[in-house]
Chain A
């Protein structure tokens, strides 16, 4: 499978996951699940990685429901990265 194909599969899976979670779970419940938070943080790490071709823009276009769920759960957008020390500036 080509790299482009891999990304297509990932985007489809993320969209399906987003739809599943949006239909069956409240954001409050997702926040209590370490496995689901781990999955959300892994996607964020992938978007942040300089070597990854997956960008927040692609994700918003191709997996919109996942991005919506991400925002509802994490209370911020995928591309928002918190700088170190922001809590005590």
Chain B
């Protein structure tokens, strides 16, 4: 592909704006993540362009539920088996935290670092478990914190 002239680049910019406007105004609107993918744009550049379009056409898109990807949708390539496993791990994390809040030495704040999670990841793993992508080291630490052998613990989570 040869070097484009300034006029051609400007024409492409106009076409891109028209396309993104069509994506934003279709029913239901295309989520922001999907628009970025389709246009091959970085987050910041895409948001700035969408803000321009919002101002030009008097529409509200950014921040609206339509611009966000559905939370219940599993990432590409994953099945309900992963969602079930994440749910089980979330249950065990909740049990560990509750145990700490009652009488054990672990409290709410001590559980997360012990598993290798930060506070935000702990909340996500418990409250929206399908969205937390557990690492093997976190699973092993969770099992050991619960006093279980990691292999047996993971098998139990996968089969129950």
- For chain A, what secondary structure do more than half of its interface residues adopt (helix, strand, loop), or is it mixed? helix
A-B contact count, CB below 8 Å?
A: 60
* Shortest Cβ gap from B76 to chain A (Å): 5
Taking CB as reference atom, which chain A residue is nearest B23? A31
Interface status of B49 (Cβ within 8 A of chain A): yes
- For chain B, what secondary structure do more than half of its interface residues adopt (helix, strand, loop), or is it mixed? helix
Given contacts A31-B23, A34-B37, A37-B38, contact A87 B30 (CB under 8 A): no
Beta-carbon contact of A41 and B13 below 8 Å? no
Interface status of B81 (Cβ within 8 A of chain A): no
**CB-CB < 8 A to A5: which residues of B?**
none
Interface status of B133 (Cβ within 8 A of chain A): no
Given contacts A31-B30, A32-B34, A83-B4, contact A89 B13 (CB under 8 A): yes
Chain A residues within 8 Å of B, Cβ to Cβ: 28, 31-32, 34-35, 37-38, 41, 74-76, 81-83, 85-89
